[in-house]
Structure 1
Amino acid sequence: MSTQKTLVLTRPDPSNTEVLAQIKARFGETVPVIVSPALKIVPGQNWPDVSPYDVVIATSSHAIQGPLHGKPVYCVGVRTADAASRAGGDVRHCALDAARLIEWMRTQPDPGAIIYLRGSHVATDIPAALDGLAIQGDAARTYRQEEQALSQAACEAIEGDAPVILPLYSPRSARLVGQAVKRIGQQLHVIAISDAAAQAWRDQTGGTCEVTDDPTGEAMLDRIVAALNV
């Protein structure tokens, strides 16, 4: 690995701390890093009553801000499933992304009334996507994703000439980071978690990026470590 490589992390805290710990465990040494969250997670003040619903859907661990009282839960991502279990939910299915969750639900019997726990911004409107199946669905905003200004250090690293690795974990964060920089450095290595995140980056900057095979934190970790080892 070139000792000049710097990792720029823009995830909401505490996700950055978790990623750094995973990288250190896999890579075996400390990596130069700039932490500058593009988003801040703000819990909602009113947790919904889930008792009238037959199924809870959550596509982010941030959405789990209260008790689930044993309700069946359909999740996106292992971290979301873990959060749902800790909140007392009965995780029945865990998909890699929202598109695959919807595809799976189309093959299942009518689940009854669902409630989708979501943030202020979502890439996929789950109840709307399921509308054609005549499934009764409501949504509750249990957290907000507030925009945060990218730090000067992060901007200078992304725009500079030194080797930088920039993982992008969502289309919105990719768009915000792209909007914050004036140019992209020649040795910037961007890794996107999905085609949607990659497209958001391209739309904002015209830059290229690598896309993981699966939209998971583990796949992102694999690509980050591989980039550090080059």
Structure 2
Amino acid sequence: MTVTILITRPEPEAARFASALRGDHGDTANVLTAPLMHIHWTGALPALSGDETLIFTSRQGVAGFCRLTARRDLPCYAVGEATAQAAREAGLDATPCGGDAAALMRRLAEDGARGPFLHPRGAHVAADIAGTLRAAGHEAAEAIVYDQQPQPLDAPAHAVLAGPAPVIVPLMSPRSGQLFFAEAPAPRAPLLIAAISRATAETVPEGAARVLRIAEAPNAAAIRNLLRDMVKSAKRLEGGKRAQ
């Protein structure tokens, strides 16, 4: 039996991540994409004075901002390197901040950034960036520029979850975890969950996963490192089942 890595990220991240994992694992794992959400562009930006410092916490936030304005002259901070790279590719001057909201706040403090800040974001976020900045005495606003709307798991995903072979599921946000277990509350396949954060791991129902591990850092690179170990774990689990 073949171990499957089931990717539930929205497109185009799903295809990009799948390509990276196929490079990591070759034919040792079947990499399957089944997005649980799709991107819906929405919202508007406030009037820009030109004094803003932008804060981006996702590639989609960058894309949503750039869809709504031609301005590329505002400085920006990005939660991680991948988001910073997306901002640079769009023509923005971006500073990466270590991978999570806490690291972003530390970098802003270290740099003495004063704002006003603007956080172009999705309708669902893991951390209240603008609220935290306001609580620290800064002027900060947010603009919802996209939504990640739920969509059901497709038939191939349901098929592997109904089979006997182990399925590894990287979960990249708490909302992904909630949606996945709403779609697949009792899969037959042994599940190995790679969670990007503790908050994401907490969405996994008790007893739902044979293996539940949290990445060392809240980014895709750390998830890829974790998946290398989890594929080995899945192979051991598969071998143990055959031996019984």
TM over 0.5: yes
Structure 1 equivalent of residue 23 of structure 2: 25
Structure 2 equivalent of residue 130 of structure 1: 133
2:179 is the counterpart of 1:176: yes
| CA distance in 1: counterparts of 2:15 and 2:227, whole angstroms | 15
Give unpaired runs (5+ residues) of structure 2. Answer: 236-244
| CA distance in 2: counterparts of 1:79 and 1:48, whole angstroms | 26
Structure 2 equivalent of residue 224 of structure 1: 227
Where 1:167 maps in the other structure, the secondary structure is strand
Give unpaired runs (5+ residues) of structure 1. Answer: none
Preserved CA contact (<8 Å) 1:50 1:115: no
Tell me which amino acid in the other structure corresponds to 2:25: F
Deviations 1:54-108 (A, max 9, x none): 3100100101121442211111122210111122211134221112212333444
Preserved CA contact (<8 Å) 2:166 2:190: yes
Preserved CA contact (<8 Å) 2:195 2:214: yes
2:217 is the counterpart of 1:214: yes
Where 2:10 maps in the other structure, the secondary structure is coil
| CA distance in 1: counterparts of 2:147 and 2:51, whole angstroms | 23
* Overall identity of the aligned pairs, in %: 29
CA RMSD of aligned residues (A): 2.2
Give the alignment of 1:1-230 within 5 angstroms: 3-29=1-27, 31-44=29-42, 46-47=44-45, 49-65=47-63, 66=66, 67-185=70-188, 187-202=190-205, 206-207=208-209, 209-229=212-232, 230=235
Tell me which amino acid in the other structure corresponds to 1:182: P
Q: Which moved more, 1:35-44 or 1:100-109?
A: 100-109
Q: Quote the offset at 1:188 in angstroms.
A: 1.3
| CA distance in 1: counterparts of 2:152 and 2:103, whole angstroms | 32
Preserved CA contact (<8 Å) 1:169 1:193: yes
Where 1:29 maps in the other structure, the secondary structure is helix
| CA distance in 2: counterparts of 1:73 and 1:54, whole angstroms | 9
| CA distance in 1: counterparts of 2:228 and 2:84, whole angstroms | 25
Q: Quote the offset at 1:159 in angstroms.
A: 4.7
Q: Which has the larger radius of gyration?
A: 2
More helix by share: 2
Where 1:95 maps in the other structure, the secondary structure is coil
| Cα gap change, 1:34 to 1:27, in 2 (>3 Å) | closer
Q: Which moved more, 1:87-96 or 1:172-181?
A: 87-96
TM-score (norm 2): 0.84
TM-score (norm 1): 0.88
| Cα gap change, 1:140 to 1:32, in 2 (>3 Å) | same
| Cα gap change, 1:184 to 1:68, in 2 (>3 Å) | farther
Q: Which moved more, 1:173-182 or 1:51-60?
A: 51-60
| CA distance in 2: counterparts of 1:94 and 1:61, whole angstroms | 14
Where 2:17 maps in the other structure, the secondary structure is helix
